[in-house]
Amino acid sequence: MATVAEILVETLALSGLANEGGDVKIALFVPCYVDAFFPEVAIATLQLLERLGHEVVVPPQQTCCGQPMANSGDQAASAATEAHFVDTFKSYDLIVGPSGSCVHHVRLHLDACEQTPEAAHVRKSIRELIEFLHEDIKSLPPIDFKHKVGLHNGCTALRGLGHARPSERVHEPDFSKARDLLTHVGGLEIIQSDRVDECCGFGGSFCVTDEAVSSKMGQDRVADFERNGAEYIASADNSCLMHMKGIIDREKRPLKIVHIAQILNGGPFA
């Protein structure tokens, strides 16, 4: 079966858009769980970047960033995967990926592979989609999403990449890059949860090694959004959304999950 990256490369070639205009040449990084479970998020990201006038390349040989192996303590597998990631993206000026967790790993924890000049370049050049879009928020295309949306910040995006002000920093000015982006969407109403930056309980391997605690945290997070009237839970991290979707589906709760790229692009939706 073809990967999302391979499908996107073929789509670009057929559309004739692969090497046309745009001021910034971007390599699109498709996280492995997006490739496997949420291909619509990769498609939305690609279409959105192109609508903003960027030239986008989708390296077909890309795989995982190495985070799952690193989190599990498998140094050898992590080093090999990270080295492949560096080799895949080393020739690009800018790398954009729709995942706070993966971008956080590449930028701050890509330590298992050899720290070559190419590795340093890749770590410096990668951007998470939300922070990249926030740098040029005025160019967002007009789009409507007439729903009540609860905004979930993944822990690494929040505290590792600085997507928003963590709630414990009560004396610092409040900000949220994702919220800023969503305020440009017509008809969208952001629903305030009771605990604005509560963890969903996914935590990578944590949901496997401590499944009971992980499940309860996810149930509490979903219930918070439902109690406050959200129709959708939106996030920049599909790993968090995947965890909460499992709880929503299992408990038949009246909520849907959506990546912010899908909202800003107007789809595609699953």
Domain boundaries, the chain: 4-135, 137-265
Q: Which of 240, 48, 24, 4 is nearest to 143 (CA)?
A: 48
Q: What is the CATH number of domain 4-135?
A: 3.40.50
List all residues 6 or more positions away from 126 whose beta carbon is below 8 Å from its beta carbon.
29, 89, 95, 96, 97, 103, 106, 107
pTM of the model: 0.89
Q: What pLDDT does residue 11 have?
A: 47
List all residues 6 or more positions away from 190 whose beta carbon is below 8 Å from its beta carbon.
149, 150, 151, 179, 182, 183
Task: Find out whether 28 and 8 touch, Cβ atoms under 8 Å.
Answer: yes
4-135 and 137-265 agree in CATH topology: yes
Q: What pLDDT does residue 71 have?
A: 87
Q: What is the CATH number of domain 137-265?
A: 3.40.50.1860
Total count of residues recorded for the chain: 270
Segment-wise mean pLDDT, segments of 10 residues, the chain, 270 residues: 50 44 76 94 97 94 95 94 98 95 96 98 97 90 97 93 93 96 97 93 83 94 98 95 96 97 95
Q: What pLDDT does residue 202 have?
A: 87
Q: Which of 122, 118, 127 is nearest to 97 (CA)?
A: 127
